[in-house]
Amino acid sequence: FFGLSSSWTLICLPCAFMAEARAGVPSNDAEEGLAARDREGPKSADVDSESESEGPSAGEEEDGGPPKKKSKGQKKHMVTLSSGKQVNAKKVRNHVNPLSSLYNRPVALPKELQDGGDWDRIYAKPLQPLIFDIGCAKGHYCLEGAKRWPHLNWLGLEIREPLVVRANLWREEHSLPNLRYLAGNASAGIGDLMKSLPKGVLKRVCIQCPDPCFKKRHQKRRMVTPSLLTELREHMPCGSVLYMQSDVEMVAQQMADDCVSVGGFERTEQTETGDLVTARDGVDESCPPHNSKPQTDGNTYNDARIGTGEWENKGAAAGADGTYQWLPRNPYDFQSEREASVLSKGAPMFRMMFMRKEQVSSS
């Protein structure tokens, strides 16, 4: 009887394990793996440094088989890239490798300007003040901004072309002559694009929640670097504002330090229109909990460690006591999607503004 019982035990245990797997119940090993992943922190990108394409996850079909039939929902999100390839804009990776040969090239001029054209081919009123959102992701921030403030022109730049194509389709659907999206890698160079802008129209540059690149080996992929900030300094008119924010304090510290180190920018608490940014009702959104909700257990990375915790120019923007000062609230009362999600959890946002100032010649 004991032997029979043992046999049944040996048979039933694998069957039970397989049943749990089919039901989606994680095994102990899987639970330990998930716990380890949580301890390690979030992953910065799924793309290896050698990868040069977004692969099937971007909506492309696998080779070697007949194309799968697309549902009505899939067809709705299919967009055609500049190469003629069709992809699903809802299946684009969250992060791509900006150093791969597919992306590592300076931002090209809009096609309307490549034959010597001017910005009046892009905006109905090209001399209106311009807001430039670098890393605009899906483009909702610029889309809603263009609706709310038609007296401003909005320009969104995003490295993932499928998102840009879809965002421009939204622009056409809403008939917004003050909005445009461009595909390109800002960290590879934006000088030509910025030089082409009408003189003096650029009033604000936004960089909001860039990829944190948590892993040490991914630090070289960061978008905000001294090189990018130097280009911005060279082409932003005096009095214009660089507005940056992140929900990861160490990323915000890096951006602030790099901005101070390149020179030509001055930390400010005033917007380009002169509005002073102060705490509202005594609430400082850089210090949790900042609302009635307790901070949740969701993906809040405000204290996450970036790489080794060391970087070039570290401490350049810190005060005498080594601490960093952040804006207490959004200076424009206009939130990005990521920002709204973070604040809804009671987690902090780390914001800063720098004004482009006149450089004094050493001579």
284 flagged as catalytic: no
CB of 160 within 8 A of CB of 79? no
- Give the whole-angstrom CA distance, residue 181 versus residue 188: 18
What phi, psi does 245 have (nearest 5°)? -155, 155
Catalytic residue among 133, 211, 247, 257: 211
Q: Which two tokens stand for residue 240?
A: 């214009």
Phi-psi group of 84: left, alpha or beta (phi > 0 → left; psi -120 to 50 → alpha; rest → beta): left
Question: Do 356 and 243 form a contact (C-beta atoms < 8 A)?
Answer: no
Tokens encoding 241:
């504002």
Q: How far apart are CA 163 and CA 172, in angstroms?
A: 14
Whether a cis peptide bond, with omega within 30° of 0, leads into 289 is yes
**DSSP per residue, 275-307:** -B---BTTB-TTSS--SSSPP-SSS--TT---T
Identity of the residue numbered 208:
Q
Q: Which single residue is written with the structure tokens 């991914």?
A: 218
Rounded CA separation 96/211 (Å): 10
Tracing tokens 């001579």 back to the chain, one arrives at 363
Rounded distance between C-alpha atoms, residue 330 and residue 302, angstroms: 17
User: What 3-state class would DSSP assign to 269?
Assistant: coil
DSSP H helices, the chain, are: 2-23, 28-40, 72-76, 140-148, 161-173, 191-196, 226-235, 249-262, 337-344
The catalytic residue positions are 211
